[in-house]
Copies of this chain bind each other. A is one copy, B any other.
Amino acid sequence: MIRFTQIMPVSLHTINREMHERCALCRIRSYSFCRALGEGKLKGFTSISAEKIYTDKQNIFLQNENSDSLYNITEGNIKIYQLLSDGRIQIIGFLYPGDFFGSYSKKKYNYSAESIGKTKVCIFKKDLLDAYLEKNMELAKELLNMTSHELMLAQDRIGVLGKLNANERMAKFVINISQQRSRIGWQDNPVSLPMTRQDIADYLGLTLETVSREITKLKTSKLIKVLNSKQIYLLDKARLLSLCH
């Protein structure tokens, strides 16, 4: 089992504090508000969310199941992926605290979601959320903003997979992780890669051997320093950035 507390150079306390500042519907309300909302403790509001805890490698939901919930990560990481009929996997994304996943619309999930390490999520049932949105335009707008943001990220990934070579994909990958960490208030340089090489490969549309070779290439060209297989230090962000275009 992968434990973030082992590989991340920040204390669990720090992480939790960060969470309180930005979690769930973070840009609107404080985490405590969201939580209270979830537990139905705020008078005037009904309960629209429930919290759930997962251990490593548990499925939150599977592709093609009927979708009825939107999830928000409050702790840990999630990977979302699509499975082809012949067993090939495409990882759509690695998600961080504050990220949403699942489906707002009531159809089918178009990817599966699995926890990486111990993970807490807030679950918003579509019906309840829907009813709540009626009363809270600010929330609706925020949800729209977040979905637009996700869309932008997905479109970026289309660019990566369509046009960048293995070198550039790898560079973009570490840069993106670094930026993502910084965005949620974690230190952005010694960057941890909690996922396996196979996972990275399935994310970047490469094989694990190519990922491994590209990492050593970045190492030998002094762009990164490999602290251990799950933790790397970015030595030359400028050059890495220029590789991503």
User: Which residues from chain A sit less than 8 Å from chain B, CB to CB?
Assistant: 82, 84-86, 88-90, 92, 103-105, 110-111, 130, 133-134, 137, 140-141, 143-145, 147-152, 154-159, 161-163, 202-205, 245
Known: A137-B133, A159-B92. A150 touches B151 (CB 8 A): yes
**A-B pairs with lowest CB-CB distance, top 9:** A162-B205, A161-B161, A154-B154, A84-B245, A90-B159, A90-B162, A147-B147, A85-B245, A90-B163
- Residues in B with CB closer than 8 Å to A143 are 144
Name A's interface SS.
helix
Known: A104-B144, A143-B144. A163 touches B111 (CB 8 A): no
Report the copy number of this chain in the oligomer.
Answer: 2
Task: Write 18 A-B pairs (CB below 8 A) sorted by A numbering.
Answer: A82-B155, A85-B245, A88-B163, A89-B163, A92-B155, A92-B159, A103-B148, A104-B144, A104-B145, A110-B156, A111-B155, A130-B141, A133-B140, A137-B137, A137-B140, A140-B141, A162-B204, A162-B205
Known: A155-B111, A162-B161. A148 touches B82 (CB 8 A): no
Known: A90-B163, A144-B104, A147-B147. A158 touches B156 (CB 8 A): no
Cβ-neighbour of A157 out of B111, B140, B158 (below 8 A) = B158
Cβ-neighbour of A105 out of B145, B157, B162 (below 8 A) = B145
- Residues in B with CB closer than 8 Å to A204 are 162
Contact A140 B144, beta carbon cutoff 8 Å: yes
- Residues in B with CB closer than 8 Å to A205 are 161-163
Contact A110 B155, beta carbon cutoff 8 Å: yes
| A168 → chain B closest CB, angstroms | 9
A245 to B85, CA, bound (A): 5
